[in-house]
Amino acid sequence: MAFRSPTADTAYRHALRLDDRTRALTDRFGWSVLLVDGGSAVGREFARGHRPAPADLVRFATVPDADGPGLTRRLGLDAHVPCLVICADVESRRVHVLPLADRTADEAHRRAQDWVEGFHEANHELLARWAGVEREARELVDVVSGPLWARRIRSTERSRDQRVLRKLAALTTSPPNDLAGVDAVLADPTDLPWGLVDALREIRGRIAGLDADLAARERMAGTAAELAAATDRQDVRRVLASLTADATARHALAPDTAAALTATRAALTRDDARDSRRWREENGPLFALPVFVAARHSWHWIAEQGRRWRETARHHRQRDFALFSGVLAAQPLEDPDAVADAVLTALAAHHGVTDEEEWTAAAVGFRAYLVETVGRLREAAPEGFTLVGHCLPNHPPPVRPLDEEERGLRDGLASRLARDAAARGAADDRREALAEVPALAEWFRAEPAARLEAGAPVPELADRSLVEALARLAGVLDGYEEAVRSVVHPHEADPAVIAVECPVGVAEAAGVVVGDSAVDRLREQVARTLAGHREAAGALPGS
């Protein structure tokens, strides 16, 4: 039956004795037979039921129809198809071919079966010898390398314990003032017990929370001082807003301080200026842009003197109104005549007036309006409203100082904040958390320290006779290639078989990478084991 495989590469690797699962020294003593039938009847019949029995060292495979033409072309064997391609060394360019065109499947089968039987008969002792060499070499490698691995493991464990003790050394001293030692250990927890790492992380997280609390209390102390220095409602509101936005500091407040904060905010954020605000809003139209523009018509030819080049009339009016509004708002309420004079003087300079008499005559009506309106504002203004701007909605009202009740709330809250900021609970908790670190580290230090002090016994090296036997086998492996060349292949003596020199080897033609051979791998294992033993033996006292 033809060999079947999911991929052509897998099929070829099996047929050419290159599949890694079964690699052995005797692989290169064997040979492979590839059936290239070219669609012939004799080839199909041979593939169906006339192949020799399978064997580990002699592999038979049918080349798929899709691969056959390409393989024979690369090997230069098109003229021999259908045929059996026989190769011992899959990298050699020399192959042997049994043409099938003039033969029956029975004849081809008999010849192939004779080759297989003759191969095993001629090479029985050679195959047994090298199978024994490989088996003995692998057994000796295991025996000699076992103590070496045990020594390496012991050395690795000892080094790990030493690294653990060095890391713990920074934690077993008196409690540090900072977390540098803990952070250094957590930055590289390699080799440390996870129980210790988890405990340190818990402590680190707890201290981080305490540090945040201490920082909040420092901010709280600054807030207390700032609040105590505040003299008006606006300043107090600003400080209270900052404290309210600081969630960490707010969480650290004592219950009575939190209650005082709520009471102070309620008292100082009341809309006790609602009536005056409504009055100010009602005053808005008195000096609005339409009023100013209507009055400006009385001196519009004079205003044109101050118009800038390429400035629109609309922008010019707005610029004049902005100056008027700013000057008016800054005037004291106590003297309406002085207010009117200051406003008109500023407008005259703004317009670039050159004829004072003309300007005075043009603005006389607006002056009278200013005197009368400012006078009404002065009579109706609440206490503390000293500027014209205080009476208008587009300008800030006067800053009202704190009354006696408000000062009491401010001082009470500031005193409580200063008291809470000075509380030492978080600082004490931080010191206690840091004090846990040395005790924890000492507890985890005990086990590795005890192992190092006790010192585990060093595994003894393999007996010298076994090492010498392995060294002798290393010398035997040096003769492997000569043994391969000594193999008897009966098919080469068959007169019906043709020797052909090909452009490439069979493995290359099939697209299969050969890789390391079994003997190369075994040699490397033996050499590495002997070198490791010499190194370990050289480190012994008296060596």
Q: List the pLDDT tens digit at each of the 543 positions of the chain.
A: 334 345 677 878 888 888 765 678 888 899 999 998 877 888 888 888 655 555 578 888 888 877 778 888 999 999 999 999 999 999 999 999 999 988 998 999 999 999 999 999 999 999 999 999 999 999 999 998 888 888 888 888 888 888 888 888 878 765 556 677 788 888 888 888 899 889 999 999 998 888 888 898 999 999 999 999 988 888 888 898 999 998 988 888 899 999 999 998 888 776 556 668 889 999 999 999 999 999 999 999 999 988 899 999 999 999 999 999 999 999 999 999 999 999 999 999 999 998 999 999 999 999 999 999 999 999 999 888 999 999 999 888 887 778 888 889 989 999 999 998 888 788 888 888 888 888 888 898 888 888 888 877 777 888 889 889 989 988 999 999 999 999 999 999 999 999 999 999 999 998 888 888 889 999 999 999 999 888 888 765 544
Predicted structure pTM score: 0.52
> Which residues pair with residue 36 across a beta bridge?
83
DSSP assignment of 477-495 equals HTTHHHHHHT---GGGG-T
Q: Would you put residue 39 in left (φ > 0), alpha (ψ -120 to 50) or beta?
A: left
The size of the chain, in residues, is 543
**Cβ density class 83-112: b for 16+ within 10 Å, e for less:** bbbbbbebeebebbbbbbeebebebbbebb
Taking the CA atoms of 527, 529, 532 and 534 in sequence, report the sign of the dihedral they define: negative
Main-chain phi, psi angles of 319, to 5 degrees? -65, -40
How far is it, in rounded angstroms, from Cα 289 to Cα 272?
30
- Look up residue 532 and give its two tokens: 């490791």
167 burial type by CB count under 10 A (0-12 exposed, 13-18 middle, 19+ buried):
buried
How far is it, in rounded angstroms, from Cα 114 to Cα 104?
16
Whether residue 47 contacts residue 35, with contact meaning beta carbons closer than 8 Å, is answered with yes
Q: Which residues contact 455 (CB under 8 A, 6 or more apart)?
A: none
How far is it, in rounded angstroms, from Cα 171 to Cα 163?
14
Q: Angle 72-73-76 (CA atoms, 0-180°, nearest 5)?
A: 80
Q: What is the largest CA-CA distance in the chain?
A: 143
How far is it, in rounded angstroms, from Cα 360 to Cα 326?
21
> Which residues pair with residue 499 across a beta bridge?
96
